[in-house]
Structure 1
């Protein structure tokens, strides 16, 4: 398994609740988490199948933005 980390604008528990259905569908329940305490609001995804681009699209589908860490 590889872990992808992306910067997001998912800011709080309410945002996570809104994004959860789309992210669970695209990524899989229990395969992702958002660190809302981090200034960059890091989304960590554990998957062997998904690319960064696919994860970014899933986040955008949920109404939020994600980008590669710089």
Structure 2
């Protein structure tokens, strides 16, 4: 069942890239790089969460790093 979720994720990301990439002006190279990096980061994070749902999220890391200062 996890592979079905993963393939659905890949299909949705592929459709999103096809739809949005055409709308970005070809002269905006940095915007295309940022779009690609954020899309890749989101896809990797969702893939990890699909296959390993017990992994702590970024908010848990934030709480561990800044926990002592947040309790002031």
TM-score when normalising by structure 2:
0.28
Structure with larger Rg: 2
**Between structures 1 and 2, the one with greater strand share:** 1
TM-score when normalising by structure 1:
0.29
**Between structures 1 and 2, the one with greater helix share:** 2
